[in-house]
Chains A and B, each alone.
Chain A
Amino acid sequence: MTDPIRPVVEGVPGAGGGGMAVRLPLESTPPEGGDVQVIASGWRLALREFLANRLAVVGLAVLVFFVVFCFLGPVVYHTNQSLTNPLITDLPPGGSHVLGTDDNGFDELGRIMAGGQTALEIGFFASFIATVIGTLWGAIAGLAGGIVDGILMRIVDILLSIPYLLIVLVLATKYSATVFDESMIIGLFAWLVPARLVRGEVLTLRERDFVSAARVMGSGRSRLVLRHLIPNALSVVIVNVTFQIADAILILAYLGFLGFGLQYPAASWGDMLGSAQQYVSSGYWWLVYPVGGCLVAVVLACNLVGDALRDAFDVRLRKR
């Protein structure tokens, strides 16, 4: 038998002698603990799983398409979206107006682009606010436990039991409805769900040995939360973000439909649907179906991406 135990002194060549001296002998002979196999990282495995899901790729493509369509579209397709023109109201599709015009004489296709911009902006911004607040809130509650956890989570429970669309409506009428304001209003109510999700995740994470190990090293709470708990709860958060975006876009649509949306001249899909509802029976289909279709497509795409991300991150669902 070869001697598996390396003599102690020779085992650490040049113990005090700097990096290079240590490296050379290690590379020439395989180390005692065996070589390290290079395996795809957890993120890469998740990406692979995600890409294997056809629907998810379609969803992602739809989202990318809408981002390009809404933000770059107006650059090539110039329309007037601020001055009403009574001469060209309610024109059917055709000619210079690809999707016709609405009752204010705005070009419908250009209006969908403008509405899409606000929808996506508010969707991303609101979900960002909700996620940041929710993640921190949930992580702190989960780690602190006891009375702090009780208080923080009861606040969440109370807020969840309030019919928040009402509050949003009230707030939306009180404050000037700009993109920023609407995002804040939606975001400030939407953090409750991620807060609960993250707390649940942290509750299981904090019992894990690596968190105990950090404690034993003398780690403070903020380090535990920022370096260990949140990065490990991130997969849950990322999945939730996609659903948050879809929700925010829908809420914006409700608000617009009910007439509490963005202020004129800003466009939103909800406003467009709200003002078009009276024309459905009059045969002005171009004012309803295209914008409705866009709304459904974006929300559906977000949900598809979210579902696929959940499957990709969940090791138990992962096919090897």
Chain B
Amino acid sequence: MSAALEVTNLTTDIQLSRSVVHPVGNVDVKIDPGQTLGLVGESGSGKSMLGLSILGLLPNGGHIVEGSIKVEDRELVGMAEPALRRIRGDAVSMIFQDSQSSLNPTKTVGEQVAEPVRLHRGASRKEATDRALEVLELVGMPQPKERLGTYPHQLSGGLRQRVMIAIALACEPRVLIADEPTTALDVTIQAQILALLDDLRDRLGMATLLITHDMGVVAGRTNRINVMYAGRVVETAPTDRLFSAMRHPYTQGLLGAIPRLESDNRRALTSIPGIPPDLTNPPPGCRFAPRCPFVTEKCIEHEPPLSGSDSIHRFACWHPVDGPIKRTPQIASVDSSVPKRSNGDAAHLLEVKDVFREYPITAGVLQRKVNSVKAVSGVTLHVDAGETLGLVGESGCGKTTLGKLIVGIEKPDSGQITLDGREVFKLRGRTLRKARRDVQMMFQDPYASLDPRMRVQASLREPLVIQGIGSRKEQDERVRRMLSEVGLPANAVERYPHEFSGGQRQRIALARALMLEPKVIVADEPVSALDVSIRSQVLNLMKRLQAEFNMASVVISHDLAVVKYLSDRIGVMYLGRLVELGSGDDIYRRAAHPYTDALIKTIPVPDPVVERSKDDAGIRGELPSPINPPSGCRFRTRCPRAQQKCADEVPELRRFGPGHRAACHFPLQTPILGVDADASPDVAVA
């Protein structure tokens, strides 16, 4: 049987005005019908360009230099555009990452799904619409008949992605290219979409190329994985073998760099130092050599070929490693003793009491308030000095709003936020500005959080200038010290933000937040915009500095593993409410709330054995709108244990152990009696 897709020795160039980028070099890919190949790599590794090359959709200036692309023995390289157009969306189709921008907002879902059928099958409008209905049913769209007439903006992200898949499948393609199909989605929805793709592949027998940066996504869903680095395939192996016995140091580092839920958060993550090479002028030898711990002269001079002892597992390395890293060093300064204890209410550094924040929705000429988005509803929590609290939840759960409330960018509608017993953000004018130095924030997007027109020197000095701390010379001195603290060269002060990579910018942002030596630092998704190898660098750095500066922090992320790695305690949020609060182990091993439990189950784990053993797709359904949240327990609409009581009564936070609380009527653990948990002193967790 011939392969559904066979790419041999493909090399692609992109001509820029002054240079040539080589995003894909000598890549081989082969997928049999009914198989899924995972293509894993960081941003800029050329994985998306490979996908686009297959479809002949390279950006301006892009062209295939050499190689061949065969779909069921038809050669696509050199094929004329009209012929290629007949293949696109028919024999080969693609699912893009961003369903928001990939769907036409002015056309109904039905028309868009029917379009490829009309184009490729010459079907009448009626036949095409029937087919569209069929495909929408196939992709598990609820009430498909009603959805035919809706527009993309009326659907949620998960449903839009289903529409994208329906469009791709409308003509029963032989090859499906899924480019980061779930990256823009929440974990619970991601699990649903991945399960759907799996199921469809089995039923339709197409070959799937799954392009992603996430090792967890490919672990349970692929037969084989190609790892790409800087335009080259550096390792290719059957999935199990790649995870258990990888040979390339890059693969090894990449896997070690991912924080895991089950791992001990006192150990540092493996990190790959440095940043990927510039593909306009790649290094002559092994492209990974500058970042490789095993580098020798030979690596720098000669590029290793993709070879191996057997034909199924091949790798491009002169000094292959043998399987995953065994142990990583312990972070020197992290206190390995018992977690910090809370000693009564009085000593809490930061206290959030019953805080509400709603954004009004107005309508009509008079801007009457008709409803509101309930972003944060009655959250109570506290952070002690030197402690890290993690906040985790899906998008729209109110975690970012809560973070903004804590730093005072937003003001609560009701409730109190106190720092050292003082309601800081009720202050006004100069006193407020002075008080702000105690709470600083690190933002999600490293590209937006630094002023593009300010040199690093000015950006880092700014907090000191505003707060009037030190003479100019002292300020400069502190800037230099902080830069070396976050691992940046001293010459960075002269540079503008756009000259840094994402990870470096996040280091600068962290340095800026630390300049004032705040008591509390709020980090909103500090690593979600970064690549895996860079992510672990920043996480390790944050962990080290947390301990070194002994400040309290609030880490906000959608990624439970990131939060667990950085935090002493974790708060889980759902639709504006705090549903569970406890230590990392409480949350991971003794989750009391069904939502927490489902969240843990749906997170893709970079381990094929664990991933395959998952039997269900976790939480069903979509996140309800925060404008009209469900009555009673807000999770009840998606909860497998929901009963009448959940709709009638809002569950209170109940105690399940020392420092472990959850708000659920029918929890997975037995609560400890006595609701008034605050009075009893918390005991250290063994």
| Residues of chain B contacted by A212 (CB below 8 angstroms) | 404, 409, 441, 443
Q: Is B303 an interface residue (CB 8 A)?
A: no
Q: Is A166 an interface residue (CB 8 A)?
A: no
Q: Is B537 an interface residue (CB 8 A)?
A: yes
Return the CB mask of B428-449 against A: 1 if under 8 Å, else 0. 0000111111011101110011
Is B489 a contact of A31 with CB atoms below 8 Å? yes
Q: Is B495 an interface residue (CB 8 A)?
A: yes
Is A19 a contact of B441 with CB atoms below 8 Å? no
Measured CB to CB, the closest approach of chain A to B101, in angstroms, equals: 14
Q: Is A169 an interface residue (CB 8 A)?
A: no
User: Measured between alpha carbons, how far is A108 from B445 in the docked complex, in Å?
Assistant: 61
Measured CB to CB, the closest approach of chain B to A171, in angstroms, equals: 37
Q: Is B364 an interface residue (CB 8 A)?
A: no
Is A12 a contact of B448 with CB atoms below 8 Å? no
Q: Is A147 an interface residue (CB 8 A)?
A: no
Q: Contacts A12-B481, A39-B498, A220-B433; is A32 near B273 (CB within 8 Å)?
A: yes
| Residues of chain B contacted by A35 (CB below 8 angstroms) | 489
| Residues of chain B contacted by A214 (CB below 8 angstroms) | 451, 462, 466
Q: Is B492 an interface residue (CB 8 A)?
A: yes
| Residues of chain B contacted by A15 (CB below 8 angstroms) | 481
| Neighbour of B499 across the interface among A36, A227, A231, CB < 8 A | A36
- Chain A, range 144-191, C-beta contacts under 8 Å to B: none
Q: Contacts A41-B496, A210-B450; is A3 near B329 (CB within 8 Å)?
A: yes
Is B501 a contact of A34 with CB atoms below 8 Å? yes
Is B441 a contact of A33 with CB atoms below 8 Å? no
Return the CB mask of B257-297 against A: 1 if under 8 Å, else 0. 00000000000101111110010000000000000010000
Residue of B nearest to A211 (CB): B451
Is A36 a contact of B449 with CB atoms below 8 Å? no
Q: Tell me which of A22-30, A88-96, A237-245 binds B.
A: A22-30
Return the CB mask of A11-23 against B: 1 if under 8 Å, else 0. 1100100110011
| Residues of chain A contacted by B444 (CB below 8 angstroms) | 209
Is A26 a contact of B484 with CB atoms below 8 Å? yes
User: Measured between alpha carbons, how far is A33 from B499 in the docked complex, in Å?
Assistant: 13
Is A209 a contact of B449 with CB atoms below 8 Å? yes
Interface of chain A, helix or strand or loop or mixed?
Answer: loop
Q: Is A4 an interface residue (CB 8 A)?
A: yes
Q: Is B361 an interface residue (CB 8 A)?
A: no
Is A218 a contact of B496 with CB atoms below 8 Å? no
Is A36 a contact of B490 with CB atoms below 8 Å? no
| Neighbour of A5 across the interface among B268, B440, B489, CB < 8 A | B268
| Residues of chain A contacted by B304 (CB below 8 angstroms) | none
Q: Is B407 an interface residue (CB 8 A)?
A: yes
Is A8 a contact of B496 with CB atoms below 8 Å? no
Number of A residues with CB within 8 Å of any CB on chain B:
50
| Neighbour of A33 across the interface among B272, B409, B487, CB < 8 A | B487
Q: Contacts A36-B488, A41-B496; is A218 near B436 (CB within 8 Å)?
A: yes
Q: Is A38 an interface residue (CB 8 A)?
A: yes
- Chain A, range 209-231, C-beta contacts under 8 Å to B: 209-210, 212-220, 223, 227-228, 231
Residue of B nearest to A33 (CB): B487
User: Measured between alpha carbons, how far is A202 from B616 in the docked complex, in Å?
Assistant: 48
Is B17 a contact of A215 with CB atoms below 8 Å? no
Measured CB to CB, the closest approach of chain B to A33, in angstroms, equals: 4
Is A23 a contact of B273 with CB atoms below 8 Å? no
| Residues of chain A contacted by B490 (CB below 8 angstroms) | 22-23, 26-27
Measured CB to CB, the closest approach of chain A to B14, in angstroms, equals: 9
User: Measured between alpha carbons, how far is A30 from B512 in the docked complex, in Å?
Assistant: 22
Q: Is B224 an interface residue (CB 8 A)?
A: no
User: Measured between alpha carbons, how far is A2 from B501 in the docked complex, in Å?
Assistant: 23
| Residues of chain A contacted by B504 (CB below 8 angstroms) | 33-34, 36
Measured CB to CB, the closest approach of chain A to B520, in angstroms, equals: 11
User: Measured between alpha carbons, how far is A214 from B437 in the docked complex, in Å?
Assistant: 11
Number of B residues with CB within 8 Å of any CB on chain A:
75
| Residues of chain B contacted by A30 (CB below 8 angstroms) | 273-274, 489
Our count of residue pairs bridging A and B at CB distance below 8 angstroms stands at 164
Is B487 a contact of A31 with CB atoms below 8 Å? yes
Is B275 a contact of A216 with CB atoms below 8 Å? no
| Neighbour of A320 across the interface among B16, B275, B333, B407, CB < 8 A | B16
Is A217 a contact of B484 with CB atoms below 8 Å? no
| Residues of chain B contacted by A2 (CB below 8 angstroms) | 293
Q: Is B151 an interface residue (CB 8 A)?
A: no
Is A216 a contact of B331 with CB atoms below 8 Å? no
Q: Is B325 an interface residue (CB 8 A)?
A: yes
| Residues of chain B contacted by A265 (CB below 8 angstroms) | none
Is B500 a contact of A36 with CB atoms below 8 Å? yes
Q: Is A283 an interface residue (CB 8 A)?
A: no
Is A33 a contact of B466 with CB atoms below 8 Å? no
Is A210 a contact of B449 with CB atoms below 8 Å? yes
User: Measured between alpha carbons, how far is A80 from B118 in the docked complex, in Å?
Assistant: 79
Q: Is B643 an interface residue (CB 8 A)?
A: no
User: Measured between alpha carbons, how far is A35 from B293 in the docked complex, in Å?
Assistant: 17
User: Measured between alpha carbons, how far is A15 from B480 in the docked complex, in Å?
Assistant: 10
| Residues of chain A contacted by B278 (CB below 8 angstroms) | 37
| Residues of chain A contacted by B452 (CB below 8 angstroms) | 42, 210, 232
Measured CB to CB, the closest approach of chain A to B540, in angstroms, equals: 6
Q: Contacts A3-B329, A7-B332, A228-B451; is A216 near B487 (CB within 8 Å)?
A: no
User: Measured between alpha carbons, how far is A214 from B433 in the docked complex, in Å?
Assistant: 11
| Residues of chain B contacted by A1 (CB below 8 angstroms) | 270, 293, 325, 328
- Chain A, range 238-262, C-beta contacts under 8 Å to B: none
Q: Is A208 an interface residue (CB 8 A)?
A: yes
Is A19 a contact of B480 with CB atoms below 8 Å? yes
Q: Is A319 an interface residue (CB 8 A)?
A: yes
User: Measured between alpha carbons, how far is A220 from B484 in the docked complex, in Å?
Assistant: 29
Measured CB to CB, the closest approach of chain B to A38, in angstroms, equals: 7
Return the CB mask of A33-55 against B: 1 if under 8 Å, else 0. 11111110110000000001000
Is B480 a contact of A218 with CB atoms below 8 Å? no
Measured CB to CB, the closest approach of chain B to A39, in angstroms, equals: 5
| Neighbour of B484 across the interface among A31, A38, A234, A319, CB < 8 A | A31
Is A213 a contact of B488 with CB atoms below 8 Å? no
Is B486 a contact of A232 with CB atoms below 8 Å? no
Is A5 a contact of B329 with CB atoms below 8 Å? yes
User: Measured between alpha carbons, how far is A320 from B18 in the docked complex, in Å?
Assistant: 8
User: Measured between alpha carbons, how far is A7 from B432 in the docked complex, in Å?
Assistant: 38
Q: Contacts A4-B540, A34-B274, A36-B504; is A213 near B17 (CB within 8 Å)?
A: no
Is B462 a contact of A216 with CB atoms below 8 Å? no
User: Measured between alpha carbons, how far is A280 from B496 in the docked complex, in Å?
Assistant: 58
Q: Contacts A22-B484, A36-B504, A52-B17; is A218 near B489 (CB within 8 Å)?
A: no
Return the CB mask of B503-519 against A: 1 if under 8 Å, else 0. 11001010010001000
| Residues of chain A contacted by B448 (CB below 8 angstroms) | 208-210
Residue of A nearest to B468 (CB): A218
| Residues of chain B contacted by A5 (CB below 8 angstroms) | 268, 271, 329, 331-332, 540, 544
Q: Contacts A218-B467, A228-B451; is A209 near B443 (CB within 8 Å)?
A: yes
| Residues of chain A contacted by B548 (CB below 8 angstroms) | 8
Measured CB to CB, the closest approach of chain A to B183, in angstroms, equals: 21
Is A213 a contact of B268 with CB atoms below 8 Å? no
Residue of B nearest to A18 (CB): B477
User: Measured between alpha carbons, how far is A213 from B448 in the docked complex, in Å?
Assistant: 10
Is B332 a contact of A22 with CB atoms below 8 Å? no
| Residues of chain A contacted by B433 (CB below 8 angstroms) | 218-220
| Neighbour of B17 across the interface among A33, A39, A41, A320, CB < 8 A | A320
19 further interface pairs, Cβ-Cβ under 8 Å (given A5-B329, A217-B467, A231-B454): A4-B268, A6-B487, A11-B484, A12-B484, A12-B485, A30-B273, A32-B541, A33-B503, A33-B504, A34-B274, A41-B496, A42-B452, A52-B17, A212-B443, A214-B451, A216-B407, A218-B463, A218-B466, A232-B451
Give me 9 A-to-B residue pairs in the complex whose CB atoms sit less than 8 angstroms apart, sorted by A's number: A4-B270, A8-B333, A12-B484, A23-B490, A32-B541, A37-B278, A209-B445, A213-B443, A215-B409
By Cβ-Cβ distance, the 5 closest A-B pairs, closest first, are A32-B487, A218-B433, A209-B449, A218-B436, A33-B487
What is A's interface to B at a CB cutoff of 8 Å? 1-8, 11-12, 15, 18-19, 22-23, 26-27, 30-39, 41-42, 52, 208-210, 212-220, 223, 227-228, 231-232, 234, 319-320
